[in-house]
Amino acid sequence: MTDALIIGGGPAGLMAADVLSAAGQSVTITDAMPTVGRKFLMAGKSGLNLTKAEDFATFQTAYGASNATLNPILSAFGPADVSAWAEDLGQTVFTGTTGRVFPTKMKSSPLLRAWLARLNKQGVTVQTRWHWTGWAKDGTGDVATFDTPDGPATISAKTTILAMGGASWKRLGSDGKWAGHLLDAVAPFQPANVGFTVPWSDHMTQHFGAAVKGCEMSAGALTSRGEFVVSAKGIEGGGIYTVSSAIRDGAQLILDLLPDMSVEEITAKLRDPKGKQSTANTLRKALKLDPVKRALLNEFGRGSNLSLPEKIKALPFPALVPRPIDEAISTAGGVRFDALTDDLMLKSRLGVYCVGEMLDWEAPTGGYLITACLAMGRHAGLAATRRIQTS
């Protein structure tokens, strides 16, 4: 028997294992993939955004409806703590101009290697290619069951932490199949931080791959000043991901092509005293609108009753359909918080905790996802340690 079984080797599971093993508990991590931390590594492919350096009151608003539930967990392990944790693993960090925090080496692999080395030093056992298949009974009570390269296996543990991710990026191990074992506790999965399909007209083809910068996007109560990319499939990128939950839930996407100018200022610049310039030339010369912005204005501005300056400030997109869930960065849905105690333990199965993206919450990219996963792993790890020590 092991003291703690961690099913899932992403950031939340690894953090829970770190806390438990540092407290002297025997820990076994199982993961369905050939190696642990695959989504963590993919997240750092273009620079690992660990967290966001901003005041906590602003930081916590990123979690929307889950803010109140996550507040005490994030208060105990927030952005400054994430940076200190990385530094403790020998990975210095820096804060970019937008407040996003990255390892100095940018990639996630050096951080993951240092983390796994520490876990190994603390005696953590890692079993890969182990697929969790549920629970069974033996002489000691419930045991976790697995399909492994060597055939069926079981693990008996004093406490178990489930950290198997959501239902996106199944090629990296997050396929949501675990939900079949926790049906009474699970809300339906939905894509989060996702792009949207757009039925482009032919004239947009030449702009596929172009980045749309310096805009403000709004949908419902959400706004974003990031950028996005026009692709053959539609639109995607950080700016869209920030407002994607509202679009997914039915709000219309509105694009402000010149967020630092008012309608009146745009109107004044569009006045051509000589009356000889074409509209396209006026947009290019007077307003400095690049080709992709002018193309979007033409694509969605036709047939609108708004004036040209009004369309530039509030360009309405048609109703948008999210891309498939497996293309989403993360998912909403999963284990409901009302099925858990404040310690993130399943009310229906004492001693079993759930953490990370397999819970029903969502946040935009920009360090918020990883921070909350680390914080939840730590929170459940501490609770599981207390349970073991007092049992």
DSSP letters for 344-387: SBBTTSTTEEE-GGGBS----SSSHHHHHHHHHHHHHHHHHHHH
Q: What does the pLDDT average to over 85-104?
A: 94
Q: What does the pLDDT average to over 177-206?
A: 94
Q: Which of 349, 351, 363, 325 is nearest to 69 (CA)?
A: 363
| pLDDT attached to residue 195 | 96
Q: Which of 145, 153, 148, 240 is nearest to 198 (CA)?
A: 240
Return residue ranges of the chain for CATH 3.50.50.60: 2-190+330-390
| pLDDT attached to residue 273 | 55
Rounded Cα distance between 8 and 353, Å, is 12
Percent share of the chain, pLDDT over 70:
97
| pLDDT attached to residue 171 | 86
Q: What does the pLDDT average to over 151-178?
A: 93
Q: Show Cβ contacts of residue 376 under 8 Å, excluding neighbours closer than 6 positions.
A: 12, 70, 73, 344, 355, 356, 359
For 35-60, what is each residue's pLDDT tens digit?
A: 999 989 888 777 899 999 999 999 99
- pLDDT over threshold 70, residue 96: yes
Q: Which of 1-5, 68-72, 96-100, 123-127 has the lowest mean pLDDT?
A: 96-100
Rounded Cα distance between 170 and 270, Å, is 50
Helix (H) or strand (E) holding 188, with range, is strand 186-192
For residue 29 the two structure tokens come to 């991590």
| pLDDT attached to residue 276 | 62
Amino acid at residue number 391: S
pTM: 0.91
| pLDDT attached to residue 183 | 87
Q: What does the pLDDT average to over 334-359?
A: 96
Q: What does the pLDDT average to over 244-266?
A: 94
Contact by Cβ (8 Å): 365, 193: yes
- Taking the CA atoms of residue 268, residue 269, residue 271 and residue 274 in that order, the dihedral angle to the nearest 10 degrees is 140
Tell me what the pLDDT averaged over the chain comes to: 93
Q: How confident is the model at residue 272 (pLDDT cuts 50, 70, 90)?
A: low
Cα–Cα distances in Å, from 36 out to 41, 91, 127, 172, 290? 9, 19, 9, 10, 43
Rounded Cα distance between 180 and 361, Å, is 19
- Burial (CB < 10 A; 0-12, 13-18, 19+), residue 137, is exposed
Q: Which of 133, 180, 158 is nearest to 335 (CA)?
A: 180
Q: What does the pLDDT average to over 123-140?
A: 92
Percent share of the chain, pLDDT over 90:
81
Give me the architecture of the 2-190+330-390 domain, per CATH. Answer: 3-Layer(bba) Sandwich (3.50)
Q: Which of 103-107, 186-190, 301-305 has the lowest mean pLDDT?
A: 301-305
- pLDDT over threshold 90, residue 4: yes
| pLDDT attached to residue 301 | 87
For 371-380, what is each residue's pLDDT tens digit?
A: 999 999 999 9
- pLDDT over threshold 80, residue 156: yes
DSSP letters for 212-236: E-S-EEEETTEEE---EEE-SSEEE
Q: Which of 21-25, 139-143, 226-230 has the lowest mean pLDDT?
A: 139-143
For 277-325, what is each residue's pLDDT tens digit?
A: 667 777 877 788 999 999 999 999 887 788 889 999 999 999 999 999 9
| pLDDT attached to residue 296 | 95
Q: What does the pLDDT average to over 90-112?
A: 93
